[in-house]
Amino acid sequence: MLYLKQMGTDSAHPMYSNDASARQRIEWVDYAKGFCIVFVVMMHSTLGVGAAAGSEGWMHHVVAFAQPFRMPDFFLISGLFLAQVIDRDWRTYLDRKVVHFFYFYLLWTAIQFAVKAPGLAQGHGVAGVAWLYLETFWEPFGTLWFIYLLPVFFVITKLARGWGIPVLAIWLVAAALEIAPIHTGWTVVDEFASRFVYFYTGYILAQRFFTLASQVQAQPETALAGLVVWGLVNGILVFNGFAQLPFVSLALGLAGAAAVVAVSALLAQIRLFEPLRYCGEKSIVIYLAFFLGMAASRTVLLKYGWISDIGTISAIVTLCGIVGALLLYWTVRRTPLKFLFERPELFWIAPKKPLKLQPAH
């Protein structure tokens, strides 16, 4: 397939892979990842400002509009390139798809905990804080639940492929889990039920999404008309309280993910909003570290009251979260602190470049 040739035979998903060989990139994918990470930071920033201020602003409407497709699109994009690597040997696969994420999860959980520990200790005591930290090994901490859950998706998908379970059967079960009202209180179970269908859809329909992007670029006027219709339908269902209904949420999630692909394909074609594409390229950096700039700017803006509009404050806090993470990355990337965003070789369990199979003689 064309997109596999473009990405190379050994480039895992460029959003998350630190393979040195992953050099070629597909621009619309980076735009799509940029949308994903910006919407995620926007959600946390806006809801955090609203909770701290006790009121809402215009950014809350933007967050509400994006809710049906924000995380579905994130997971769907994460599954797009899985077909390239799913048949690797288990050692290499686990290194790239499990150890890689857990390294960053454990590291940044410790960092977030160190930042939040003084406040937590006031309400829970030292013993309570120690227990809360221990709990993060089975209950994902804060914003990091996404990179905790991805390895689970990767392993289950490879196991299912190895066991020969029919693709359609897996998808139907995944869709049923999303439709069912599963609320156990355990993040791993609840988010798995809500999100796996989108990840698996990205995996099994990757070629369809790449074809969609090509068709959008070939017929931009038709694509724009379709996006207008989608936007109206999504907005009507969201703001009238129907977006969370069974079946409706699944349909909106898939339709919204396709819409993001379409918008991203158009932006890539006309090469607009390069900063958004760069955010997609560095999405893991932003995801890990945005809480620092977000929390600091929210505290300052609300404390000193320089700006009264809650929506504007939320927008500034979103920008600070993104830029703050990138500034940290640019500061440490050529220093010993680069381990914050680059997994050291000490924590690799397989070679960086998987060995190529030798032809039989």
Q: Where are the domains of the chain?
A: 2-347
pLDDT digits (tens, 9 = 90+) for 99-155: 999 999 999 999 998 888 888 888 788 888 889 899 999 999 888 999 999 999 999
The rounded radius of gyration (Å) of the Cα atoms in the chain is 21
Q: Which two tokens stand for residue 359?
A: 């032809």
pLDDT score at 121: 81
DSSP for 325-339, written as a single string = HHHHHHHHTTSGGGG
pLDDT of residue 128: 85
Q: Where are the beta strands (DSSP E) in 14-96?
A: none
273 vs 359, higher pLDDT:
273
Mean pLDDT of the chain: 90
Render pLDDT for 202-226 as a digit per residue (tens, 0 to 9): 999 999 999 999 999 999 999 999 9
Across 189-198, b (16+ Cβ under 10 Å) vs e yields: eebbbbbbbb
Residue pair 69/253 in contact by the 8 Å Cβ criterion:
yes
pLDDT in the model for residue 309: 95
- Higher-scoring residue by pLDDT: 279, 127: 279
Which stretch of 122-126, 288-292, 345-349 has the lowest confidence by average pLDDT?
A: 122-126
* Residue of 73, 98, 93, 72 whose CA lies nearest to 83: 93
Closest CA to 108 of 138, 71, 145: 145
Query: 32, 77 in Cβ contact below 8 A?
Result: yes
**Model confidence, pTM:** 0.88
Return the ∠ at Cα 206 (arms to 284 and 253), rounded to 5°. 70
Give CA separation, 20 vs 78, 260, 345, in Å.
19, 28, 12
In the chain, what is the straight-line distance between the N-terminal and C-terminal CA atoms, in Å? 28
Can you tell me the mean pLDDT for 67-75?
A: 94
Q: Is the dihedral of CA 38, 39, 45, 49 positive or negative?
A: positive
Whether 251 has a pLDDT exceeding 90, the answer reads: yes
CA distance linking residue 302 with residue 50, whole number of Å = 10
Give the per-residue pLDDT at 18.
40
CA gap 234, 333 in Å, rounded = 40
Of 6-10, 33-37, 156-160, 189-193, minimum mean pLDDT range: 6-10
Q: Classify burial at 202, counting beta carbons within 10 Å of its beta carbon; exposed 0-12, middle 13-18, buried 19 or more.
A: buried
